């Protein structure tokens, strides 16, 4: 399975919404996770099973989708949210989407 993320880079102003996409090369049901990696830090699990927030993750992060199309939405972007986001299904990671300040 190949995971493809788009866009590669997303420019967003603080307080706005960011919408990130992840596509699987074949149907994976809802077996999808999203991770956040702030530069210089280790990845952090945000969402698993496509839509369930991990422990301690803020409600402004939400995941949706099933089958082959998935979305991570970040509402009202905060300064600490500018990072790289990866989707993952089992051994396959997407290439990442960098969310940067517009």
Partner 1 sequence: EVQLVESGGGLVQPGGSLRLSCAVSGFNFQTYWMSWVRQAPGKGLEWVANIDFHGDEMSYVDSVKGRFTISRDNAKNSLFLQMNNLRAEDTAFYYCARETPGGACYYDYWGQGTLVTVSS
How near is the Cβ of 88 to partner 1 at its closest, in Å? 7
Binding to partner 1 by residue 48, rule CB under 8 A? yes
Strand partners, 100: 11
Q: Which stretch binds partner 1 (CB under 8 A): 10-18, 27-35, 65-73, 74-82?
A: 27-35
Binding to partner 1 by residue 102, rule CB under 8 A? no
Q: Can you tell me which of 21, 23, 31, 57 binds partner 1, judged by CB under 8 A?
A: 31
Binding to partner 1 by residue 101, rule CB under 8 A? no
Cβ nearer to partner 1, comparing 9 with 13: 9
Which residue do the tokens 């991570």 mark?
Answer: 72
**Burial letters 24-63, b for 16+ CB under 10 A, else e:** beeebebebbbbbeeeeeebeebbbebbebeeebeeebbb
Residues in CB range of 36: below 8 A, 6 or more apart = 43, 44, 46, 81, 83, 84, 85
Cβ nearer to partner 1, comparing 12 with 45: 45
């Amino acid at each position: 399975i190949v995971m493809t993320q788009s866009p590669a880079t997303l420019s967003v102003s603080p307080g706005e919404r960011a919408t990130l996409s992840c596509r699987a090369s074949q149907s994976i049901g809802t077996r999808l996770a999203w991770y956040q990696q702030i530069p210089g830090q280790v990845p952090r699990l945000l969402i698993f099973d496509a839509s369930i927030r991990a422990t301690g993750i803020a409600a402004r992060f939400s995941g949706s989708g099933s089958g082959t199309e998935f979305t991570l939405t970040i509402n009202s972007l905060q300064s600490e949210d500018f990072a790289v986001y990866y989707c993952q299904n089992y051994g396959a990671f997407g290439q990442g989407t960098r969310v940067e300040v517009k």
